[in-house]
Every structure is written in structure tokens, then in C-alpha cells.
Amino acid sequence: MYKLLITGGNGQLGRAINSLYLKRDDIECINTDVADLDITDLNAVLNYVEKCRPYAIVNCAAHTAVDLCEDQVDLAYKINAIGPRNLSIAAEKYDCKMMQISTDYVFGGDASEPYIEFDVPNPQGVYGASKLAGENFVKEFSTKYFIIRTAWLYGDGKNFVKTMLRLAEERDEVGVVCDQVGSPTSTFELAKAMDKLLFTDNYGTFHGTCEGVCSWADFAEEIFKLAGKNTKVNRLTSDQYPAKAKRPAYSVLENYMLKLTTDFMFADWHDALKEYMDWLQKQ
């Protein structure tokens, strides 16, 4: 039996991992969220891991509110950097694997072709900087680690797709930025990639995003198309839609390491979105 300690288990990705393993009787998910295990508390983490003795720690916990991180700098670093540090210290002490989820926002966004794992990060905001600090701690304190950088996640929780579907009920048109480009990624696809790595010794840093590229405005148009809505998308520049945190203009990731070392291929973002929206309808 493989025991997985899932932190941030009630978040979008935590839920996807759980649903992936629901029917696997060789895998037991020990789900925790902040009330059960606050990853910023080193002693709590050490005690929990000592008792639990998992095969792997899968850290789905994070401070993911990108704009709020600019105002809550200490909290962002506590959750996104100290948290994975604590988990990595425990993983090393109790000899288990460590899987950390990171972000495309570690990159500067001024590239003209997809970032690979060997490119140098240059975060533009507190969220990206704190997640990069988390990556560095994981590398520093654990040996059997996987870091997976993903992007524009949607799944069972609060996300862009659900926001657009809500706005389509309230308005005839929405303004969405068209000068930030990336790869929307379904948590269900990401969970499959995590599963592909978790039971191997194929350690290191990986990019894990759906195939294909679009802007937030393109993404919104596809959501409305699939939902059969006539909502008009007004394409805005980032200057016309000011936000607290600066975001990378181009944060496309190439899943280079996954392709070099596994046979796993993410679905194209259009297909993954359709599958997700079909799933949403059944909820």
C-alpha cells in the first residue's frame, strides 16, 4: 500500500489527486488542509510525518491569490516558501518522496518561445518569487523530489472558467486581457502527470501544462463557445485592466523534461477544457 500525504487537500489540485486515486486500492490518500496540518508550522509537520510515515508528500497547499500576495508578503513567503521547506525537511528525515507544485509565474514573461526547465527564472511579483523560493528550499532540503511547474489551473474549486460562466449569466459582454499568453491546464490532466512521476525515481524539475497556447481572452471565448453563450469578449490590454501584481506577458511552458524522460503527453487545452466543462455539467 502506498500512503500519500496530501497537503492542501481541499484545493483544486488536492481534489483532483483524490478523485484520481479513489478507485485505486493500492493507494491511500491522507488528506490534510490547514486546519489539520498547517504547513508553515515545522514542528506540526515533523510530528505529522513521523506518525503518518507516507511513501510521498504531495504538496498541493499554496497561497494562490496572486494579487493578494503583493499585500500579504510575509504570509506568501510563509505558505509558498517556508511550507515546502518544512515538508522537505520532514521528507528527508522520514525518508519519503517530496512532490512540490510550482508555477509559470517564476518566469519573467519576456521570452518569444516556450520556457524549458533549463531556462533561468525571473519572477515579476511576490507570488512567483515566493514560489521560486519554495522550489529552491525543496532542492536544498530533500533529495527525492519532484517539482512540477504548472499554469492557469482549473478544476474543482474557484477558477477562471467558473468566473466566466458566472459572468455570462450576469452580462452580455466581458473585458478580458489579450496580451498575456499561456496554457490553461486542467487539474485532472495535471494529476495524471503527477501519477506518472510519483512512483518512479525520475526526480527533478518538470513543466506540466496542457498543450497549446492562448491568451486569457481566447480562453474566455472558448469557454463561452463550449457553454453555448453569446457573451462578447472585449479584448483588453493589461494596461486597460490594471491589477496589483505584474504578470508575465508570455508564460508558455514546454513540458521538455516530461517528454525527454517519460511517454506522458498532456491533452491539448481545448480538449481538456471540453472534458472539464462536460464534468462540470454533471456536478
Report helix angle 187-198 to 12-21, nearest 10.
Answer: 60
Nearer to ligand NAP, 61 or 164 (CB): 61
Q: Does 101 bind ligand NAP (CB under 6 A)?
A: yes
Helix (H, G, I), strand (E, B) or coil at 255: coil
Single out the residue of 39, 69, 257, 273 in contact with ligand NAP (rule: CB under 6 A): 39
The three cell numbers of residue 228 are: 453555448
169 contacts 228 by C-beta, under 8 angstroms = no
- Site membership for ligand NAP, residue 7 (CB under 6 A): yes
Site string for ligand NAP, 57-76 (x = CB under 6 A): ---xxx-x------------
Binding region for ligand NAP (CB under 6 A) out of 149-157, 162-170, 220-228, 256-264: 149-157
Contact 214, 269 (CB under 8 A): yes
Burial of 216 from C-beta contacts in 10 A (0-12 / 13-18 / 19+): buried
- The residue number with the shortest CB distance to ligand NAP is 11
Residue 200: Cβ within 10 Å count: 11
Pairing of strands 145-150, 204-207: parallel
* Residue 145 contacts ligand NAP per CB under 6 A: no
Task: Report phi then psi at 97, rounded to 5.
Answer: -80, 155
Contact positions with ligand NAP (CB under 6 A) in 192-211: none
Among 82, 153, 214, 273, binds ligand NAP (CB under 6 A): 153
> Is 203 marked active-site?
no
Phi, psi angles (nearest 5°) of residue 141: -105, -15
Output the nine-digit C-alpha cell for 156: 474543482
* C-alpha cell belonging to residue 233: 469578449
Q: Per the residue annotation, which of 21, 77, 127, 276 is the catalytic one?
A: 127
Count how many residues are written for the chain: 283
Rounded to whole angstroms, the Cα distance separating 9 from 50 reads 19
Q: Which is nearer to ligand NAP, 22 or 232 (CB)?
A: 22
Residue 59 pairs with which residues in a beta bridge? 7, 100
CA 13 to chain centre: 7
Of the listed pieces 9-17, 114-122, 135-143, 236-244, which binds ligand NAP according to CB under 6 A?
Answer: 9-17
Of 1, 56, 2, 11, the residue nearest 32 (C-alpha): 11
Piece in contact with ligand NAP (CB under 6 A), picked from 55-63, 224-232, 243-251, 261-269: 55-63
Work out whether 79 is an interface residue with ligand NAP (CB under 6 A). yes
Is 182 a residue that touches ligand NAP (CB under 6 A)? no
Q: Is 33 in the site for ligand NAP (CB under 6 A)?
A: yes
Q: Nearer Cβ to ligand NAP, position 101 or 178?
A: 101
Member of 18, 86, 103, 186 binding ligand NAP (CB under 6 A): 103
Cα distance between residue 86 and residue 88, in whole Å: 5
Task: Say whether residue 252 binds ligand NAP (CB under 6 A).
Answer: no
Count the residues of the shown chain that bind ligand NAP, applying the rule CB under 6 A: 25
Contacting residue, 150, 180, 215, 255, with ligand NAP by CB under 6 A: 150
- Give me the residues that bind ligand NAP (CB under 6 A), please: 7-8, 10-13, 33-34, 38-40, 60-62, 64, 79, 83, 101, 103, 131, 150-153, 157
